[in-house]
Every structure is written in structure tokens, then in C-alpha cells.
Amino acid sequence: MARSSMNNSNQPSFSNSDKTEAQLSTRALVIGGAGFLALLTALYLLVQSIGGDELALLVEQAGIWGPVVYIAIKALTFTFAPLSAGPIQFASGILFGVIPGTLYSVFGEVIGGAVNVMIARLLGRRIVKRFVGAAAMARIDDFYERHLDDWKSLLAARLLLFSVYDFISYAVGLGHIRLSVYVIVSFVGGLIPTYIFVAIGSEAAQNQDILLVFYVGAAILFVVWLLFRRQINRLWVKLQNHS
């Protein structure tokens, strides 16, 4: 689809109020941080109650179906926006080992992302909007217009915006980047951030000291945010306006 075709009457406009909403919210950061810590804590308690060896044995008994089911679930969380991949991605290191868990997670993300690209490319914006909702659709359009130029911008998004990469994959489907390029960039670029999250989940689930480090780190970051939130927000809005 030509880039010019995106600039029509159906394209959402972005007013000054949108720029205000682009500011980082204290409430959103607190909810996100609390959710992250709660997830790690729940994973730790689960592993401690069941036992890492017992979980590994269950996966081993499942044979090839263990990885297949995991990859399928991971792919589904990429296509259906209400689903969250966080819990199973953090747990993949415990279930399969850090390296296999990383590879299975990336495979699932690439498959799910490729499905997103094809949905957008073959069925169009109207169907994508049904999957993600109106608000997310506006963000997808905006990201496509301002950021998705070539494989380099896609790689940057994969490395830095992995938490919203499922939405970005829909934007790729509305653009001109080839599916083969998307698959290669998504796989290679996803290895490092996915490895970090899988390793974090694996370590925190088995080591109480590591979990405590995350609590302390989150508290420090929150204090820094409270002290410098105005400066951080000004910088954030400036980056948004000049991106």
C-alpha cells in the first residue's frame, strides 16, 4: 500500500490534547511496575510451591507437544491484543531452560507477528481495528506514518519497543516492508530483549535475593521519577514531537 494512501479522511488526526496524553503518567508507571513485580513474585511463589524439578519433569513428559503448545500460545498473544504474553514468557526459562525458552518465545512472536502482518495486508485496516480497538488503531497509524521507513527503523522498534511490537507488526502490514524482511528482523532483533526477560524470570523465580534486587530497583526508579518527573516528561514529549 502506498504511503500516500494512508493520508485520507479516515486517518486520525493528532491534536495538542494527543500530545498532552503522550506524557508519561505516574499512575500508569506505578501500575506497570507493580504488575511487573507482582508477576515475578507470583512466579517465584509458584516455583517454590511446586518445585522447579517437578515443573521441568512435567514439560519433559509432554515431549514435543510442550514447546509446540507454548509457541502456539505465544503466537496467539501477539495476534489478540487482550491476551498478555508476560506470564508465560517469564516462565519459559523455568519450563524449558533459558536458551530454549528464548528461542521458543521468539519463534512464537515471529509467527504471531507474521500473522498480524498478513491480516493487515490482506484484510485491511477495518479488520485490524476489530482486533486491537480504536485507540490502538490510532497508534498503529501514527507509528506507520512517522517511523516505519525501512528495515533499520523496524530493527530499532524491535529492540526498543518490544512491549508494543505486536501492534507494530500490524503497522508493517499496512506499509511496504516485505514479509520476509519482517520475519528476519523480528527474529534476529528479538533474541536479545527476549533473552533478558526470560533470564530475569528464570533467576527471579528461583532466587529470592534476585527478586529482592528488583524490588529495591523499582523503589529507586520510582523515587527518581517523583523527583524529576517534570524534566522527564518534557524530554519525553520533545522526543515524541521530533520523532
Whether the pLDDT of residue 14 is over 80: the answer is: no
Whether the pLDDT of residue 52 is over 50: the answer is: yes
Residues with Cβ within 8 Å of 162's Cβ and at least 6 positions away in sequence, in order, are 190, 193, 194
By the 8 A CB rule, do 75 and 111 touch? yes
Helix (H, G, I), strand (E, B) or coil at 177: coil
Report, as an integer, the average pLDDT of 81-92: 66
More confident site: 100 or 30 = 100
Q: How confident is the model at residue 184 (pLDDT cuts 50, 70, 90)?
A: very high
- Cα–Cα distances in angstroms (integers) from residue 67 to residues 27, 60, 72, 231, in the given order: 37, 10, 8, 45
More confident site: 19 or 142 = 142
CA angle 187, 193, 194 (to 5 degrees): 70
pLDDT digits (tens, 9 = 90+) for 127-171: 887 777 777 777 777 777 666 778 888 888 888 777 778 888 888
Which grid cell is 92? Answer: 519459559
Most confident of 28-42, 103-117, 120-134: 103-117
Q: What is the pTM of this model?
A: 0.68
Helix (H, G, I), strand (E, B) or coil at 147: coil
At residue 169, the pLDDT reads 87
